[in-house]
Structure 1
Amino acid sequence: MAPTFKVTYFDIMALGEPIRILLSYGGFDWEDNRVTKENWPVLKPTVPMGQLPILEHNGKVAHQSIAICRYLGKLTKLVGKDDWEDLEIDAAADTVNDYRAKVGRYHYEADPVQKEKIGEQLFSEIVPFYSKKLDEQAKNNNGFLAVGRLTWADLLFVGLIDYMNFMAKKDLLAGVPNLQKVKENVLAVPNVKTYISNRSDNHIF
């Protein structure tokens, strides 16, 4: 019997890792389809918007990593008890993704002069700002990013943080104990712990 879900992404962590973690958390039967750089030019015209990751389920194909994570969050009951809680969770997830994008802007900048300028602002303003705000948020939510308990936003964060550290070339969790607690809480979940312990950390980028 074919797996219930199929996630297609490159052989790296990055945007695909939160999806893999959520699928693992849910104990779903899923296929981890990893695309090589050689195969990507052939595959690219066949996927929605010409981008990865994608998620396949029941003959349907979905794209956009945050939308996929939100969907899997619903399937795994890692959502709010009401619409307002869902709003809080969505806001937390979007904030994490904004942070990831700002770190990524620095990492992917090819011009060395421009990269230095971006880096100065990133490390003097942006990282301290997000570190403080998110750490306070985690403190106020008992070691989680929203609503005081585990949600899909926490799994998204943990799925992205190693990639963000790689792009920043530093530990973005240093000095932020409550954000560290978020990671610890997620990694304490048995299914997530098993997935993390079995994955290869050689494929961050």
Structure 2
Amino acid sequence: MSKVDLYYFPLKALGEPARLLLAYNDVQFNDHRLTKDEWAKFKPSTPFGQLPMLVIDGKKYTQSMAISRYLGHKYGLAGDSLEDSFQIDQNVDFFYDIRLKAYTTHHEKDEAAKAAKHEALVKDYYPTALAKLDELIKKNNGHLALGKLTWADFLFAGVYDHFKVILQMPDLDTRYPSFRQVYDTVYSLPKVKAFSEKAPKSVSGSMGTVLHYFDVKGLGEALRLLLAYGREPFTDHRVTFAEWPTFKTSTPLQQMPVLEMNGRVYTQSSAIAKYLGRKYGLVGQDLEEDFKIDESLEFLGDIRYRASMVHYEPDAAVKARKHDTFSKDFYPRALKELDRIIRENDGHLALGRLTWVDFVFAGMFDYLKVMLQMPDLDVQYPSFRQVVDNVYSIPHVKTWCDTAQKSELNF
């Protein structure tokens, strides 16, 4: 039996098609998923300084499309003639033309140039190209070529999640159901399905920074604001409610928000906010100061927790009763105390200055007003609006907000 090793990063994208093809053909292989630190050391051993790299009995194979084509021929997924092979190559090349335009835009360093490039593609290129791709798949009965399963389908399915990220189109398979059909066809193959279920989870296809959350403010907005404050280029992946049941299985705790940064995955909104706060210098100077930040966070959490108990109560009568109880016995006292804390800290939640807990409050404030059923909350307590304005008026945060996708809901 041959010794087979596949080297790629701990994500989908360009390495996933080879994993799927090997799994489909029941090939036992070592699935090496290199961290960013490991990659720096491993890179000199690769022929072109790139991944993925497939090694079979010591022989190295590189370049993602070439590997997929090679495995397709090796395992009978490349058609029966030269003409068949041409049709597969032709259709894969067209798909990769779209991917390349999205990829170069996604990795543009200059944010203004990136936004301009993306806008131009959305206006002048993507609609026509994606419609052609949709037409091509429909003509081939839900496949990329030849009207049947080929290595092209594995390549498409393997990079599809990455493709949606770099296109900035999380609802791509809602717009073009044929794309999801190719994906589902491959991932439902018994051996592929078995491999995917036990393989390490790859949330997306980017070694950069990606934040996954719904297209709402809620618990994810604070993290968007913190990343903007830290001038951290990131992909703001907004998962639709229709996509969530499928996407949920790829998340570590079946919850969002999820932050991917440098090949690592971070979960739990408060923990992520604290991590980013430390990263960007928005924490206390000692243990005592950090305690004051945590204390205010947890008090804010107490208010949010009770409001969410009411907001998500399915029984209308019980919901009304809970809201009435909290409105009489808890909200007035708690909100008054929160107001006092903010006023004593000069418009902040702690330490009399900007800390990461201010971002948590500002990010969830619209969400909190909805759950408390108090649309005039900032009229009742002007100090609350002061915290929000302090955060949203920070130049880098404001710049991001001015160009970011607008959240329509605050569920």
Residues matched between the structures, number:
205
User: What secondary structure is seen at the aligned counterpart in 1 of 2:249?
Assistant: helix
Q: Does 1:62 align with 2:281?
A: no
- CA displacement at 1:80 relative to structure 2: 0.3
Q: Is the 8 A contact 2:215 2:407 kept in 1?
A: no
Q: What's the counterpart of residue 49 of structure 1?
A: 253
CA 198–101 in structure 1, closer or farther in 2 if over 3 Å, else same = farther
> RMSD of the alignment, in Å?
1.6
Rg comparison, structure with higher value: 2
State which drifts further: 188-197 or 22-31. Answer: 188-197
Q: Does 1:204 align with 2:410?
A: yes
User: What secondary structure is seen at the aligned counterpart in 2 of 1:61?
Assistant: strand
Q: What's the counterpart of residue 327 of structure 2?
A: 123
- CA displacement at 1:165 relative to structure 2: 1.0
Matches within 5 A, 1:21-60: 21-60=225-264
Q: Is the 8 A contact 2:225 2:397 kept in 1?
A: yes
Q: Does 1:90 align with 2:285?
A: no
CA 3–129 in structure 1, closer or farther in 2 if over 3 Å, else same = farther
Kindly provide the amino acid, as one letter, of the partner of residue 333 in structure 2: F
- CA displacement at 1:201 relative to structure 2: 4.2
State how far apart, in whole Å, the 2-side matches of 1:65 and 1:21 are: 13
Deviations for 1:146-166, whole angstroms, at most 9, x for unmatched residues?
Answer: 011000000100000101112
Identity score, percent:
38
Equivalent of residue 169 in structure 1, options 363, 366, 373:
373
Kindly provide the amino acid, as one letter, of the partner of residue 190 in structure 1: P
Q: Does 1:187 align with 2:392?
A: yes
User: What secondary structure is seen at the aligned counterpart in 2 of 1:8?
Assistant: strand
State how far apart, in whole Å, the 2-side matches of 1:4 and 1:45 are: 21
- CA displacement at 1:3 relative to structure 2: 6.9
TM-score normalised by length of structure 2 = 0.48
- What are the ranges of 5 or more consecutive residues in structure 1 without an aligned counterpart? none
State which drifts further: 154-163 or 95-104. Answer: 95-104
Q: Does 1:79 align with 2:283?
A: yes
State how far apart, in whole Å, the 2-side matches of 1:197 and 1:125 are: 39
State how far apart, in whole Å, the 2-side matches of 1:3 and 1:62 are: 14
Structure number with greater CO (CA < 8 Å, separation at least 6) is: 1
State how far apart, in whole Å, the 2-side matches of 1:121 and 1:109 are: 14
Deviations for 1:47-81, whole angstroms, at most 9, x for unmatched residues?
Answer: 11111110111111111000000001111111001
State how far apart, in whole Å, the 1-side matches of 2:265 and 2:370 are: 30
Q: Is the 8 A contact 1:8 1:32 kept in 2?
A: yes
Q: Is the 8 A contact 1:131 1:172 kept in 2?
A: no
- What are the ranges of 5 or more consecutive residues in structure 2 without an aligned counterpart? 1-106, 108-205
Q: Is the 8 A contact 1:100 1:160 kept in 2?
A: no
Q: What's the counterpart of residue 336 of structure 2?
A: 132
State which drifts further: 97-106 or 137-146. Answer: 97-106
Question: Which stretches of structure 1, 4 residues or more, deviate above 6 A after TM superposition?
Answer: none
Kindly provide the amino acid, as one letter, of the partner of residue 388 in structure 2: K
- CA displacement at 1:124 relative to structure 2: 1.9
